[in-house]
Structures are given as C-alpha cells and as structure tokens.
C-alpha cells in the first residue's frame, strides 16, 4: 500500500488490511457507519439496537465500558435472533437483503473488531443494498423476456456492488484520513465555536455543517489545506470523521 493507492482505491479490502491495527474505536465506527447505510432494511429493532450499542461501546471508557461489555452479551443474543427472523421474511419484501443487513448488524457487537468481522460486515451491507435494488427493479420490469431480464439484472448487480464498494472506501477514508500524511492539529484551533459545531454533528450524525466547521477552523488560524479541504469536500462524512475527531480530541 502507498499513498496513491490509498487515495484511489475503489475496493475496501486492501484499505481494511492496511488499517487493521488502528484504533478499535474507529474500526467499530466504520462498521456501524456501513450498517447505517442499510438502516431502512434493518426492520427489526434488535438489529438497530445492536448498531447503536456498538457506537456507544466505541466511545465508552472505564466503568461504563465494563458495564457495556456485559450489556453487549444480551444485545448480541437479540441480534442473532433478528438474523433468524429475517430469513423468514417474504422474498418479495426485501429479497435476501433483510438477512444480510441483520447479519451485518449482529457482527458489529462482537467483542473485538477483527479483519474477518469487518470483511463480513462490508460484504453483507453491499449484498443488502444489491437485494434492495433487486426488489425495486423487479417491480418495474413487467413481463420482460427472461434472457433479457437476466442480462439487465447482471448489469445492475455489478453497478450496485461497485457503487457500494466506492462508498465504503470513502467512508473509510473519512474516518481514517490519509495515514501517509499525518496532519498536525494545533490546540488553538479548538475554539468554542469549532468544538460546539463538531460535537453537534457527532451526536446528531448530521454533517451538513462541515463547511461551516471549516470556516470556524480557518477563523481560528487553521491553515492546513488537508483539514479545510476535507471540511469543504463532498464527503460522505460519518461519525468518526478524522477532522471532527481532531476537533473533539478523540482517537
């Protein structure tokens, strides 16, 4: 892996292998972010609770972390039951997407986020999005000739999976930044305005104010093109975003 490959990759696998020894917190937030990409397919509250618990666990410390470790055991049990329930959903409702999405949510609450977990989660969420596309596509095709339908579906499948791989790479880079170019961050840039903006976005998971955060950092004296360009870029931005983490002092 080198910087050029890191920035250009449209496949998450080599990026995952490179950042595997990174912060468990960031790895867990990456997994949760990909699950939130299929939030509408997670129709079982037990699956959603698993993702939310994983996010809380990522930021937990000390006594709270010990308490949550015990809580995760019960949540994990419920998430596994949700996978079983998803297999019984009517095919025309979500295709295989419900099962894949529920499996991804279940894997977010494993005690340790390992490469195998991340690979499964990212693969499952890609598959869930593919099957969601299948449901929408099926409803518009009518009585198309079978062979034509098969070709059209194969093309759509490739497009959906490619788009999801690219999106996952962008989320990964949003969280981990550019490991080949560490960015010095001055404490003086953490003004009350910048911290308030970052905290609000972190809690709400709504990152539309990133350009405003960029302005606040620039007003505070930030002259880092990497930081400012990231704030004003197209995103996506998710919980764990490397700039927001720097402003909030998270690792």
Specify the DSSP class assigned to residue 179. Answer: T
**pLDDT of 25:** 92
Alpha-carbon torsion 239, 244, 248, 251, what sign?
positive
* Residue 191 φ/ψ, nearest 5 degrees: -75, 165
**pLDDT of 93:** 53
Residue 2 lies in a domain: no
Q: Are residues 24 and 59 in the same domain?
A: yes
pLDDT at 152 over 80: no
Query: Both ends of the chain: CA-CA distance in Å?
Result: 23
Distance CA 49, CA 198 (A): 24
**176-229 pLDDT, tens digit each:** 999 999 999 999 999 999 999 999 999 999 999 999 999 999 999 999 999 999
Q: Are residues 139 and 80 in the same domain?
A: yes
Tokens of 44: 């079982």
Residue 65 lies in a domain: yes
pLDDT at 140 over 70: no
Residue 72 lies in a domain: yes
Cβ burial 81-101 (10 Å sphere, 16+ → b, else e): ebbebbeebeeeebbbbbbbb
Residue 228 lies in a domain: yes
Q: Are residues 138 and 243 in the same domain?
A: no
Q: Are residues 74 and 169 in the same domain?
A: yes
**66-122 pLDDT, tens digit each:** 888 888 888 999 999 998 888 777 655 555 678 889 999 999 988 888 888 888 899
Q: Are residues 37 and 158 in the same domain?
A: yes
CA nearest neighbour of 242 among 188, 161, 165, 185: 185
CA nearest neighbour of 105 among 76, 129, 145: 76
Distance CA 192, CA 87 (A): 49
Q: Are residues 140 and 225 in the same domain?
A: no
**pLDDT of 91:** 57
Mean pLDDT is lowest, of 95-99, 147-151, 166-170, for: 147-151
Distance CA 176, CA 178 (A): 6
- pTM here is 0.85
Specify whether the CB–CB gap between 42 and 51 falls below 8 A. yes
Spatial neighbors of 226 by CB under 8 A, at least 6 apart, are: 177, 178, 181, 183
Residue 208 lies in domain: 187-248
Q: Are residues 38 and 138 in the same domain?
A: yes
Alpha-carbon torsion 85, 160, 115, 7, what sign?
negative
**pLDDT of 149:** 63
Tokens of 194: 């910048």
Residue 3 lies in a domain: no
Q: Binning pLDDT at 50, 70 and 90, where does residue 138 land?
A: low
pLDDT at 141 over 80: no
**Count of residues for the chain?**
251
Given 129, 149, 176, the domain boundary residue is 176
CB atoms within 10 A of CB 210: 20
Specify whether the CB–CB gap between 81 and 106 falls below 8 A. no
Q: Are residues 168 and 195 in the same domain?
A: no
Given 156, 176, 196, the domain boundary residue is 176
**pLDDT of 84:** 86
Q: How many domains does the chain have?
A: 2
Q: Binning pLDDT at 50, 70 and 90, where does residue 34 land?
A: very high
Q: Are residues 137 and 220 in the same domain?
A: no
**224-245 pLDDT, tens digit each:** 999 999 999 988 999 999 999 9
Q: Are residues 85 and 148 in the same domain?
A: yes
Q: Are residues 223 and 168 in the same domain?
A: no
Given 176, 197, 228, the domain boundary residue is 176
**pLDDT of 160:** 84
Q: Are residues 34 and 151 in the same domain?
A: yes
Spatial neighbors of 102 by CB under 8 A, at least 6 apart, are: 42, 44, 47, 79, 82, 83, 85, 86
Distance CA 52, CA 47 (A): 9
Give the range with max mean pLDDT: 30-34, 64-68, 123-127, 135-139: 30-34
Label residue 95 left, alpha or beta by phi (over 0 means left) and psi (-120 to 50 means alpha). left
CA nearest neighbour of 17 among 168, 119, 86: 119
Alpha-carbon torsion 24, 27, 33, 38, what sign?
negative
């Amino acid at each position: 892996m080198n910087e050029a490959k890191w920035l250009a990759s449209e496949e998450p696998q080599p990026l995952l292998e490179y950042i595997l020894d990174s912060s468990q917190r960031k790895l867990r937030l990456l997994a949760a972010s990909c699950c939130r990409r299929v939030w509408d397919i997670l129709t079982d509250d037990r699956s959603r609770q698993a993702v939310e618990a994983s996010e809380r666990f990522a930021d937990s410390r000390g006594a709270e972390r010990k308490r949550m470790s015990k809580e995760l055991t019960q949540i994990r049990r419920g998430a596994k039951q949700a996978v079983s329930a998803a297999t019984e959903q009517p095919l025309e409702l979500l295709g295989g997407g419900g099962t894949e999405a529920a499996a991804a949510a279940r894997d977010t609450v494993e005690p340790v986020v390992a490469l195998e977990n991340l690979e499964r989660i990212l693969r499952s969420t890609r598959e869930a999005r593919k099957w969601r596309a299948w449901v929408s596509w099926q409803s518009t095709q009518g009585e198309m000739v079978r062979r034509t339908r098969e070709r059209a579906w194969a093309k759509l499948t490739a497009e959906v999976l490619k788009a999801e791989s690219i999106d996952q790479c962008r989320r990964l880079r949003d969280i981990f930044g550019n490991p080949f170019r560490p960015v010095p961050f001055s404490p003086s840039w953490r003004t009350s305005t910048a911290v308030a903006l970052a905290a609000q976005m972190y809690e709400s998971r709504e990152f539309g104010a990133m350009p405003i955060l960029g302005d606040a950092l620039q007003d505070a004296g930030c002259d880092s093109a990497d930081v400012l360009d990231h704030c004003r870029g197209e995103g996506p931005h998710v919980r764990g975003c490397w700039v927001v983490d720097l402003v909030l002092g998270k690792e």
